[in-house]
Structure 1
Amino acid sequence: MDDSLSFESFLLGAKKAAHAAMDDHGRPDYNEFALHAGVAVERLAKATLVSKNPVYIAEIRNADMLLYFGGDLRLPTEKVRTVGAKDAVARLRRIGVLQADPQLDLLIEMRNGAAHASSSGDEAREMILPFARTIQALLDHLGEKLVTFWARWTDAVWAAVNEQEDQLFRDMRLRIAQARHAFDDRFTGLPDHVKQHALAPPGPPLNQVLADPLETMSNGKPALLTSGGTCPACTGPAILRFERTSCTGSRTTYASTAFGCHLCTFRAEGYEEMAALRKVLPDLATPTLTLDDGEDGQESLW
């Protein structure tokens, strides 16, 4: 049988497609994500079938395929046909390896749609959970280690399938990992000092520039910018944005509404995302900031 139809070949192909899917999701290019995620599921499903019996990946509409995979017929490589993603998953469900999962079925349909540039990006974005969940189930069945398959994506994928946490928190951890890997990829093949130089730009450190809140305008509203400490994705300097929520006498209160890094472009926006980010970064500054106008007219942190 052709080496490209071996367990090892299918497993390696699944790993490459799965990593490409995670890169697509973080870019974000959700149509490409659906395509690569579907390919990864299909190849890992075929690897699982081959591990049991190579005949299980044969396209049964052609009797020659059964004879070929059974080892009793030689065929040119271009004439060999294997089962598709939908049927591969169906066979694994039939023998109890996978359970029914409408979301996985939808992902496979999106994969076929993405191949014709017709799938919905908004829908595809949410398919990371059934994708990661199915990959994990197949790896567990095969006895393959999650960290060996996912490598640098292991923590992000583990967070994606951890349903004990809320969706926003899982999404935040995933986005941090995606920003980190996208940043690291920009320096692939370059000397280490190039990346270090990018993380330490010339001039005063950001925490010195914004040691005191800097008043500005954001979307036509008064806002404050201050140091956000270290970015959780690239370790570069980050900025926190506060927007005015109340003004009573000499006291003005602001609430943090955004966190961003100009180096890796990681960003959290809005009260709910900021709450999720604080679960990841417990040391992040307080959600609110109060400024008092002193007698000399200078604002001071309350």
Structure 2
Amino acid sequence: MESPVTFDRLYEGAKRFARLAMEAHADEDQEVFLLHAGVSVERLAKAALVLVHPTLLTEVNGKDDMLLHLAGAVTKAPARIRTIGASTAIGRLRKMDVLPQKPSNEADDLDGLIELRNGVAHLGTGDVEDYLGTFTATVDKLLRHVRQDRGSFWEAWSETAQVVLDDRTDRLQKAVRLRVSQARHRFRRRFGQLPEGAVQGVAQAVSERGLIVVEVGPAKALFQTLSQCPACDQESAALFLAVGENSLLFVMELTAEGLLCELCGFHLASTEEVEAVGLPSTVQYSMEDLTQIVAEGRNAAESHATLKLALQARFNADNSF
């Protein structure tokens, strides 16, 4: 009977949990991400040790059963398969100069990832630092050591892993590119099996067209309008626009402040992020372009013309067009 502790089994397990970790991170489920990322690193670290010799997975506890089995001295596996934990595997790889050694930021971050994985498994955890970079960089080092292709390991998540590993772009560009990649994966997962044309129907059903007043405040008003999503390329994203109190009403210069796509969940949270995906940061509209007002405190029975006047009154003391 083949031993369950082999490079192939450990490597395939690491791949599976790596993809689950990436999916959880894209869904913003930090606890599930930490669990799967920690398991993936542990299995890939053990796979690297097995390539040297299977006995490197044995605990030093005075019992010989597992040691003899992994050394090939006995063919029958022990009734209870017990190998070293993640921290010990990482420690042995550090002694072999495969992973960053202490003291270093890389080593501390990797230890933090494993500690949080253990904490989630036993007690749960609150808001924590994002360890996606640490996870991806560690996997990359181990893949190079065991001479496995990055693309075949990450498969559908190869683009996302490359974005995380790329250090040629600034932090904002990198964050936006990561969100684009994750949103594209979510879109494929949700709509990849639908027939041609069905996605467009869904987009039309969830999208609101025209220029809509979302909120009116003392200093500015917030609008939304329909935009093509930079991630899934569907005309399904709400582009949020703001105008200050001193703006002209017939020719309003609106500043893009964010974006949210209902189909893939892609979002932008600032003018700088809007510019980073190639969308214009300013657009021009007039009050005549308004199609709907959903600002809080408005009576739905009020006429469109009355709402326009009410909005204008917030900007102009004379209440006139």
TM-score scaled by length of structure 1: 0.83
Deviation at 1:241, TM superposition (A): 1.1
What is the one-letter code of the residue matched to 1:216? V
- Give the Cα separation in 2 of the matches to 1:217 and 1:187: 29
Three-state SS of the structure 1 residue aligned to 2:79 is: helix
Deviation at 1:222, TM superposition (A): 1.9
Contact preservation (8 Å) 1:60, 1:66 = no
Is 2:118 the partner of 1:121?
no
Contact preservation (8 Å) 1:159, 1:170 = yes
Aligned to 1:4: 4
Three-state SS of the structure 2 residue aligned to 1:186 is: helix
Aligned to 2:297: none
Deviation at 1:249, TM superposition (A): 5.1
Q: Residues 190-244 of structure 1, C-alpha deviation per residue, up to 9 Å, x if partnerless?
A: 4x41x6312334869979x43xxx1402375522323322441363432211011
RMSD: 2.8
Q: Residues 117-150 of structure 1, C-alpha deviation per residue, up to 9 Å, x if partnerless?
A: 4223332xx1000000000011111111111000
Deviation at 1:163, TM superposition (A): 2.3
Aligned to 2:291: none
- Give the Cα separation in 1 of the matches to 2:147 and 2:112: 27
Aligned to 2:283: 289
- Give the Cα separation in 2 of the matches to 1:268 and 1:233: 14
Is 2:47 the partner of 1:47?
yes
Is 2:259 the partner of 1:259?
yes
Q: CA 1:292–1:183 in structure 2 vs 1: closer, same or farther (change >3 Å)?
A: closer
Which of 189, 214, 217 is the matching residue for 1:217?
214
Contact preservation (8 Å) 2:94, 2:100 = yes
Aligned to 1:111: 117
Which of 147, 165, 171 is the matching residue for 1:167?
171
Contact preservation (8 Å) 2:227, 2:235 = no
Three-state SS of the structure 1 residue aligned to 2:139 is: helix
What is the one-letter code of the residue matched to 1:229? Q
What is the one-letter code of the residue matched to 1:136? D
Deviation at 1:179, TM superposition (A): 2.1
What is the one-letter code of the residue matched to 2:187? F
Aligned to 1:150: 154
Aligned to 2:82: 81
TM-score scaled by length of structure 2: 0.78
Is 2:68 the partner of 1:67?
yes
- Give the Cα separation in 1 of the matches to 2:206 and 2:108: 50
What is the one-letter code of the residue matched to 2:83? T
Deviation at 1:5, TM superposition (A): 0.8
Q: CA 1:34–1:204 in structure 2 vs 1: closer, same or farther (change >3 Å)?
A: closer
Deviation at 1:13, TM superposition (A): 0.1
Aligned to 2:143: 139
Deviation at 1:98, TM superposition (A): 0.9
Contact preservation (8 Å) 1:246, 1:254 = no
Three-state SS of the structure 2 residue aligned to 1:183 is: helix
Three-state SS of the structure 1 residue aligned to 2:256 is: strand
Deviation at 1:270, TM superposition (A): 2.6
Deviation at 1:277, TM superposition (A): 4.5
- Give the Cα separation in 1 of the matches to 2:171 and 2:283: 28
- Give the Cα separation in 2 of the matches to 1:90 and 1:276: 40
Three-state SS of the structure 2 residue aligned to 1:119 is: coil
Contact preservation (8 Å) 2:113, 2:131 = yes
- Give the Cα separation in 2 of the matches to 1:128 and 1:58: 29
Aligned to 2:298: none
What is the one-letter code of the residue matched to 2:240? R
Of structures 1 and 2, the larger Rg is shown by 2
Which of 253, 271, 276 is the matching residue for 2:273?
276
- Give the Cα separation in 1 of the matches to 2:179 and 2:216: 24
- Give the Cα separation in 2 of the matches to 1:202 and 1:82: 50
Deviation at 1:169, TM superposition (A): 2.4
- Give the Cα separation in 2 of the matches to 1:17 and 1:78: 25
Contact preservation (8 Å) 1:231, 1:237 = no
Aligned to 2:22: 22
What is the one-letter code of the residue matched to 1:115? A
Aligned residue pair count: 281
Which ranges of structure 2 fall in alignment gaps of 5 or more residues?
A: 102-106, 289-307, 309-321
- Give the Cα separation in 1 of the matches to 2:90 and 2:132: 17
